[in-house]
Chain A
């Protein structure tokens, strides 16, 4: 689904922040992306989301090299990848329902065609009672679940999550992990960027470990 071959990235004339990354994310797979702070996890997520271009190497997304994507094609590709940010990035003037429905709204879809899906998904992530609440009123865990729901609503083939348990307590972190595992069983490939070892110990999956810009893979 996504393949990196000898990918390197540097900002300007600085040193390489990512070097010789070679890995493959197959469909329906589950991965952890881990490493110390500043190792380049978020940068790698941005490369995966086509928000950054590598300075060398080859990235293939959904069978096509990223250099061959026209700028106008990128939104369609991004719709096949869901992303959950560490800081949630919910729009504070929209309710939980409206935030989760946003990907459909930007597609210009008629509200009646996705309303049931959004409500079902909100219930699935445990926000059925909070759908008409504005984000500032939600707790950290609720915001995180709303952000996950927004990333999932268009049924992406790959879900990228940046430190999804960074702002929640251990019980909620376990609950969120169960959510990701269940999602993966339903067919979505999942990549969780985290430095939470306890979380990774709860569910065994392939670990991509970044250190000093280089990657070690533990099957």
Chain B
């Protein structure tokens, strides 16, 4: 009978020192390579999340531009000698309101028109002295119900000097520009994602290289490949989640701070330009969800790479 099988008489069965394993794990919990891997994952997740946020921001902004402009028409009334301009404007306003699907119709006042022209002509201009066309803004409640062709014909027929601008050319250009920006952003995101995958894979392999002795010992004490792979996979999954959450949280914090800053600086010229261009710098729920998905995808990638490295290491031993 071996000594392990037959406890010597009189020896205590416990040394009284509590749980000898405690929180000890087979894979060392804190190593330099492990910390470096967490850092690499955090940085790459941060960059990928920022790119993802920027792409969703541009996409949302592009949708908002086209949708806002598409829900608005303009009736332009040019001044013609001998024609009562306010009368024609009132006629255009009444005409537009008769159409189905049309919401609020608002003729720009002289003050509003002056403010529109101020950047080009300066303040205090005399509108009557200039052949400035007046604008009637027609808001569309239901784009499908509005018969644009009929409205255009009615404006041309009934309003002297009147014409309808549905911004079609502008919307098409805007759509093309927004599409190009979103495609460019998506391209950059794909590149960042590839860089993320490569750096996580290589950093995990580097961290695993330092664990080859442990894999060897486990193998020699009779551990099954599945057991060794599971131990490392669990450890690296936790490292991946930790790094990913750090990077993802920092990126989300950046989005929140950017949103707060634009809200706080509302009214200032620079901030207004930004708001007009990309909205309130707010990443929607989809953006936040995408960052979370990214964090867990990175963690899974790290775990899968460690599993692959274990099997490769065991194949080399055998």
Min distance, Cβ A71 to any Cβ of chain B, angstroms: 8
- Chain B residues within an 8 Å CB radius of A115: 13-14, 20
Partner of A106, one of B4, B21, B28, B221: B221
Stretch in A60-68, A87-95, A167-175 touching the partner: A87-95
Interface membership of A18, Cβ < 8 A: no
Interface membership of A139, Cβ < 8 A: no
Q: A-facing mask of B234-257, CB < 8 A → 1, else 0?
A: 000000000000000000000000
Asked whether, in the complex, the Cβ of A93 is within 8 Å of the Cβ of B8, the reply is no
Asked whether, in the complex, the Cβ of A132 is within 8 Å of the Cβ of B8, the reply is no
Interface membership of B274, Cβ < 8 A: no
Partner of A187, one of B2, B17, B21, B214: B2
Interface residues on B, range: 35 or more
Stretch in B131-139, B169-177, B222-230 touching the partner: B222-230
A105 (CB) vs chain B CBs: closest residue: B26
Q: B-facing mask of A82-101, CB < 8 A → 1, else 0?
A: 01010001110111011001
B222 (CB) vs chain A CBs: closest residue: A79
A149 (CB) vs chain B CBs: closest residue: B4
B224 (CB) vs chain A CBs: closest residue: A75
Interface membership of B285, Cβ < 8 A: no
Q: Which of B13, B19, B222, B227 has the most CB of A within 10 A?
A: B222
Given A183-B3, A188-B2: A120 and B8 within 8 A (CB)?
yes
Asked whether, in the complex, the Cβ of A97 is within 8 Å of the Cβ of B4, the reply is no
Asked whether, in the complex, the Cβ of B4 is within 8 Å of the Cβ of A120, the reply is yes
Partner of A93, one of B14, B24, B216: B24
Asked whether, in the complex, the Cβ of A132 is within 8 Å of the Cβ of B4, the reply is no
Partner of A75, one of B1, B17, B28, B223: B223
Complex Cα–Cα for A83 and B28 (A): 23
Interface membership of B269, Cβ < 8 A: no
Min distance, Cβ B26 to any Cβ of chain A, angstroms: 7
Min distance, Cβ B47 to any Cβ of chain A, angstroms: 32
Give chain B's interface secondary structure class. Answer: loop
Partner of A103, one of B21, B28, B221: B221
Interface membership of A4, Cβ < 8 A: no
Complex Cα–Cα for A117 and B7 (A): 6
Asked whether, in the complex, the Cβ of B28 is within 8 Å of the Cβ of A119, the reply is no
Interface membership of A176, Cβ < 8 A: no
Complex Cα–Cα for A165 and B21 (A): 29
Partner of B17, one of A76, A117, A132, A152: A132
Asked whether, in the complex, the Cβ of B20 is within 8 Å of the Cβ of A132, the reply is yes
- Chain A residues within an 8 Å CB radius of B84: none
Given A94-B24, A111-B21, A119-B14: A49 and B3 within 8 A (CB)?
no
- Chain A residues within an 8 Å CB radius of B3: 120-121, 124, 152, 183, 186
A108 (CB) vs chain B CBs: closest residue: B227
Min distance, Cβ A51 to any Cβ of chain B, angstroms: 7
- Chain A residues within an 8 Å CB radius of B216: 89
Asked whether, in the complex, the Cβ of A152 is within 8 Å of the Cβ of B221, the reply is no
- Chain B residues within an 8 Å CB radius of A154: 4, 222
Given A91-B214, A106-B221, A106-B223: A116 and B24 within 8 A (CB)?
no
Complex Cα–Cα for A155 and B223 (A): 16
Complex Cα–Cα for A188 and B317 (A): 26
Min distance, Cβ B81 to any Cβ of chain A, angstroms: 94
- Chain B residues within an 8 Å CB radius of A145: none
Asked whether, in the complex, the Cβ of A89 is within 8 Å of the Cβ of B4, the reply is no
Interface membership of B220, Cβ < 8 A: yes
Min distance, Cβ B279 to any Cβ of chain A, angstroms: 51
Interface membership of B11, Cβ < 8 A: yes
Complex Cα–Cα for A102 and B25 (A): 11
Asked whether, in the complex, the Cβ of A95 is within 8 Å of the Cβ of B4, the reply is no
- Chain B residues within an 8 Å CB radius of A155: 2, 4-5
Binding site for B on A (CB under 8 A): 49, 51, 71-72, 74-76, 78-79, 83, 85, 89-91, 93-95, 97-98, 101-103, 105-108, 111, 115-121, 123-124, 128, 131-132, 150, 152-155, 183, 186-188
5 further contact pairs, Cβ within 8 A, besides A93-B24, A101-B20, A102-B217? A75-B222, A118-B20, A131-B17, A152-B2, A155-B2
Q: What are 26 sample pairs from A and B whose C-beta atoms fall under 8 A apart?
A: A49-B220, A51-B318, A71-B318, A75-B223, A78-B220, A89-B217, A94-B24, A97-B20, A98-B21, A101-B21, A102-B217, A103-B221, A103-B222, A106-B221, A106-B222, A106-B227, A117-B5, A118-B20, A119-B12, A119-B15, A120-B11, A128-B15, A154-B4, A154-B222, A155-B5, A186-B1
The 10 closest A-B pairs by CB, nearest first: A79-B222, A106-B223, A116-B13, A93-B28, A120-B7, A103-B221, A124-B3, A78-B222, A155-B2, A97-B20
